Structure 1
């Protein structure tokens, strides 16, 4: 991962970061529910105003992945409570998978929590995002079943937590 830099996106990278996010969700069939989530995934500019967005960029400047870091009570927060940091919309370009980009982005979130003095990181994930679940569990995240929820009757999200 020495060839990948994790940092906030530059405004000129917002469109690429949005497209990477949509592609990642779409290739895995996670947009099949057609609830309009692709528009939110694509809108990095709005997320960057209301949350903290990070991108993984290679040495050529290509956006390989992205994640959104959220504080409790903010517009993008779903399950976080005071004293927790939440992340959402972790995505890796299909062409960059298997290179550790998702892990690097997740570790960057954990480091961000430590830097802020926040002791717990939480997230929600579609119940069928099995690759992501394997990553979270390998990094030490544990299920947080009492915060599982359904934004729509046909969409189930499961929660995870890790103490940092």
Structure 2
């Protein structure tokens, strides 16, 4: 099997791609753990999220095929309670297509979120994740995110079971302004 082409771009979702992103994210999450109907419905609300937040996609360099997606709030907004301060950016619904896993798509999307935070002058990127999402946790830790136990909580399911909703955060490194006025993430 020939090597897969790299991700060519991360951009905002286009209207005609909403259905494909809905399937991609739903399948990515369903592959990691059992989805209850309420959370499945939340995952599938891509069209609604695109109206109030930023739904980003990673596309294949040669075909334009959608490989992954992540949602960030618009500037000045938050997606969830994990972002507690004005200088924090949270993200949700990071999902990578099954056939694109292992190609750096998730890392590309998280690095995009970090760069977006830097461009907005944001100090920290934060997120929640479930205990079953071990590959995502390894990615976050590899990219310098650390657990934020003070922001973790027990999520109670309708059936009476619960799990620890984990929280991670990472400081955004910004260089002092120079002639190029570019921001970086480390």
**TM-score under structure 2 length normalisation:** 0.81
SS in 1 for 2:91: strand
| Contact 1:72-1:80 at 8 Å conserved across structures | no
Match of 2:166 among 154, 158, 161: 158
- Dislocated runs of 4+, deviation >6 Å: none
**Cα distance, 1:30 vs structure 2:** 4.0
Residue in structure 2 matched with residue 43 of structure 1 by the alignment: 45
SS in 2 for 1:117: coil
SS in 2 for 1:23: helix
Residue in structure 1 matched with residue 119 of structure 2 by the alignment: 115
CA distance 1:30–1:6, shift in 2 (3 Å): farther
CA distance 1:96–1:2, shift in 2 (3 Å): closer
How do 1:59-138 residues align onto structure 2 when only pairs under 5 Å count? 59-70=62-73, 74=77, 76-81=79-84, 82-138=86-142
Distance 1:101 1:57 in 2: 9
Gap regions ≥5 residues in structure 2:
173-186
CA distance 1:46–1:101, shift in 2 (3 Å): same
SS in 2 for 1:36: helix
Aligned-residue Cα RMSD (Å) equals 1.9
**Cα distance, 1:152 vs structure 2:** 2.2
Residue in structure 1 matched with residue 23 of structure 2 by the alignment: 19
**Cα distance, 1:70 vs structure 2:** 2.7
Residue in structure 2 matched with residue 54 of structure 1 by the alignment: 56
